[in-house]
Structure 1
């Protein structure tokens, strides 16, 4: 049975993990799947949505930053464009990329799409690896 309280906690953990606040969405997802093995699809949808929305909050905050000289990381992101947001799943780097995307004022739709794809891929790989390890 899919527990709404578990999914709410999973969403909150994923949301916080995508901001500069501490969170551990991977551990929360694995715990959820351990106790609710039938809830894979809802869990993946919830954790991806929460993490993407948390990342979009960081993008929004980045849009409020004052103009400043561009460093190497910003120049790299600018050269690659919104596709670089596929890497927002990386610890620390992902938060910075979200902020840079906002600071560079990239279009919301492109930002959301690439971020969603990167974050969903991470959780799919994590869930697949956990399933493989448990089944092995």
Structure 2
């Protein structure tokens, strides 16, 4: 049950919801849960949440001028600039606060291949969670 909770927190944290997954991860690590399983659930949940942003970018860009649209135009412009400067490899940094969600959204807008997207985003997010998990693993 706690692994499912971590997956859900990680999923929500990758969307535009103001949720963090790190506190849940750290609590479960301190409770003695398997670091490998926690790494797996946090990474897959967070990557799946990023796919939601990709889908929104891919299919809902037509609504970007609406007041309810989750990403502001200036943030979208910055993310597009990062993509044009650095290419698809910028997705390795999709875990970063503030710019990460717009990057995953722009990847959908630019129709980045979904498999490439999942691999790059997943690697980056796994590396981030490794920072938290590694001290408990060794």
CA RMSD of aligned residues (A): 2.2
What is the count of residue pairs matched by the alignment?
127
- Aligned with residue 84 of structure 1, among 83, 90, 96: 90
CA-to-partner distance for each residue in 1:69-111, whole Å, 9 max, x for gaps? 9834313213322211111111121101000101111111111
Most deviating of 67-76 and 7-16: 67-76
Runs of 4+ in 1 over 4 A off after TM superposition: 67-70
CA-to-partner distance for each residue in 1:4-38, whole Å, 9 max, x for gaps? x100100000000000012111111001111124x
CA gap 1:78/1:67 in 2 versus in 1, 3 angstroms: farther
> Partner of 1:23: helix, strand, or coil?
coil
- Aligned with residue 80 of structure 2, among 60, 74, 78: 74
1:121 alignment partner in structure 2? 127
1:15 alignment partner in structure 2? 11
Q: With the length of structure 2 as denominator, give the TM-score of the two structures.
A: 0.83
Any residues of structure 2 matched to 1:1-136 within 5 Å, and which?
A: 5-37=1-33, 39-64=34-59, 65-66=61-62, 71-128=77-134, 130-131=135-136
Structure 2 unmatched runs, 5+? 65-72
Q: Is the 8 A contact 2:79 2:102 kept in 1?
A: no
